[in-house]
A and B are shown apart, each in its own frame.
Chain A
Amino acid sequence: MSSKEETHQRLKAAVHYTVGLLCQRTGENHQTEFSRQVIAAIAETTFRQCDTFAKDLEAFARHAKRSTISTEDVKLAARRSTALSRFIQNKYEELNHEQRDLKKKNTGKRKNRDTEENRE
């Protein structure tokens, strides 16, 4: 097996694991069970969907003359469903708020340290 295939095998297994957990939780919430075959099928489909996503994202970035995929490219990949676009937009804003709060915390700490040093 080539190393690329080995990587894909490992990644497939990791995807399968998370898919299994998500299906298990969904099943528990509805008092139903997912068969092992259907979990494997969902995992395989998710893995293949990643291929589509990855190539789309790469194409979007290249179209914008960038070599690094950005959040704008992800938002574009979510364009087909309004609900999905809105969800991704919300997550994007959550991310930005977290980063802004972190920056405020750090500048706040620095300001306090300065005033303490002045008092001494």
Chain B
Amino acid sequence: MAEKDADIGFKKDMVSKLLSSFFREDKTKISGDAVLLMAEMLKIFVEEAAVRSLKQAESEDCDQVDIEHFEKILPQLLLDF
């Protein structure tokens, strides 16, 4: 199978371990399909954070995206998710 190097994302195993590490109860498990969907959701979260920060930097005529741009868009980002 040819590898699409444009397909960056969170690996299924990693997402599964990541979410599991935050569960309050030992008996809680997550289905494989749910992990795949959560991997997509995390990817969107990061992409939204990146694009919104970038748009903020552009609106301020900055040629590098810096932490102050991210800080400005962070409240709305968290509300949207």
A interface with B by C-beta (< 8 Å) = 4, 7-8, 11, 14-15, 18-19, 21-23, 25-27, 30, 32-35, 37-38, 41-42, 45-47, 49-51, 53-55, 57-58, 61-62, 67-71, 73-75, 77-78, 80-81, 84, 87-88, 91-92, 95
The listed residue with most A CB atoms (<10 A of its CB), out of B17, B46, B64, is: B46
Cα distance A38–B38 when bound, in Å?
A: 23
B22 closest partner in A (C-beta)? A54
Contact of B23 among A18, A58, A81 (CB under 8 A): A58
Contact of B49 among A25, A45, A73 (CB under 8 A): A45
Please tell me if the beta carbons of A61 and B28 are within 8 angstroms of each other in the complex: yes
Given contacts A15-B18, A26-B47, A45-B49, contact A74 B67 (CB under 8 A): no
25 A-B pairs in the complex with CB atoms less than 8 angstroms apart: A8-B21, A18-B46, A22-B43, A26-B54, A27-B50, A32-B64, A34-B65, A42-B50, A42-B70, A46-B46, A51-B22, A55-B22, A68-B29, A69-B28, A69-B31, A71-B31, A74-B37, A75-B37, A80-B79, A84-B80, A84-B81, A88-B41, A92-B37, A95-B33, A95-B36
B interface with A by C-beta (< 8 Å) = 6, 8-11, 14, 17-25, 27-31, 33-34, 36-38, 40-47, 49-51, 53-54, 57-58, 63-67, 69-71, 74, 78-81
With A11-B18, A74-B34 given, name 17 new contacts (CB 8 A).
A14-B14, A22-B8, A22-B43, A30-B54, A32-B57, A32-B64, A38-B67, A41-B71, A53-B38, A58-B25, A67-B29, A69-B19, A69-B30, A78-B41, A81-B81, A84-B44, A91-B37
